[in-house]
Amino acid sequence: MTKLYTLPGTCALAPNIAAHWLNAPVEIETLERGQQKEDWYLEINPLGQVPALVFDDGDVMTEAAAIMTYLGAEYGTEGYARDKRLGRCEAEALSYMTSEVHADYAGHFAPGSLIADESQHEAIKEKTYEKLRGHYQRLNDRMAGEFYLSERSFADAYLYVITRWIEMTPLSIDDYPKLKAFRARMERDESVKTALAKQKMEPVAAS
């Protein structure tokens, strides 16, 4: 069976949720912290990162957005139907969330990856939080309603991850009421509950 490697707290939660939304025949394998750097896993993904989707024939796919796009194409049903416009909007939203918002979190998670001088790390973090405030405001303003787009899409799965990460920063979800309400709705979704349990994570409200 196809296997999805995940790690608690990471963006691998997004394709994990997507797989459950689609009832895709994917086994969820959650690593312990540090296992992603072990030799056996580096043979799967030399970058030592999750997610990684391993197929029965040994092929490997990485990158959360790519994995979700594959799962939608392979296992999409009426529950994943969308018109062409929604598909374009989903692709744009995922690209923004992964290449802009997620990328800017490097300044929070690993400022040393941006500059070695530790005396500059706090300044990097402050600049990072300034940029993240802009991202969260944009995401909040663009919420279409119950979902990020006009109906449920994989953008919601990734946005949920991002709304969880805010808790690790000085920022407050209370400043973004649409995102706060969205996160609460997501945590009532049975597939999200199952994905969290598989990835050894708790809803934010219970954290």
User: pLDDT at position 183, please?
Assistant: 98
Domain final position from 78, 98, 113? 78
Report yes or no on 161 lying in a domain.
yes
Q: Is residue 69 part of a domain?
A: yes
Higher pLDDT, 130 or 115: 130
Q: What is the CATH number of the domain that holds 61?
A: 3.40.30.10
The CATH number for 112's domain is 1.20.1050.10
Least confident of 64-68, 96-100, 106-110, 177-181: 106-110
Domain for residue 207, yes or no? no
Q: Is residue 201 part of a domain?
A: no
pLDDT tops 90 at residue 13: yes
Exposed e or buried b for every residue in 84-114, given b needs 16+ CB within 10 A? Answer: eebeebbeebbebbbeebbebbebbeebeee
- pLDDT above 90 as % of the chain: 82
> What is the mean predicted confidence (pLDDT) over 81-102?
89
Summarised one tens digit per residue, pLDDT across range 142-183 is 999 999 999 999 999 999 999 999 999 999 999 999 999 999
Q: Are residues 52 and 87 in the same domain?
A: no
89 and 44 inside one domain: no
* Residues 2/55, Cβ–Cβ less than 8 Å: yes
Say if CB 111 and CB 84 are below 8 A apart.
no
What's the whole-number mean pLDDT along residues 31-56?
A: 98
Task: Give me the pLDDT at residue 82, please.
Answer: 64
* In a shared domain, residues 130 and 170: yes
Q: What percent of the chain has pLDDT over 70?
A: 97
Q: 26, 54, 78: which is the final residue of a domain?
A: 78
- 51 prior amide bond cis, ω within 30: yes
The whole-chain average pLDDT of the chain stands at 94
User: For the segment 44-75, what is each residue's pLDDT rounded down to a tens digit?
Assistant: 999 999 999 999 999 999 999 999 999 999 99
**Residue that is written with structure tokens 């400043």 in the block:** 175
Span of 41-50, 85-94, 186-195 with lowest mean pLDDT: 85-94
The residues with which 29 forms a beta bridge, in sequence order, are: 5
**Parent domain of 16:** 2-78
In a domain, 206, yes or no: no
Split at pLDDT 50, 70, 90, the class of 35 is very high
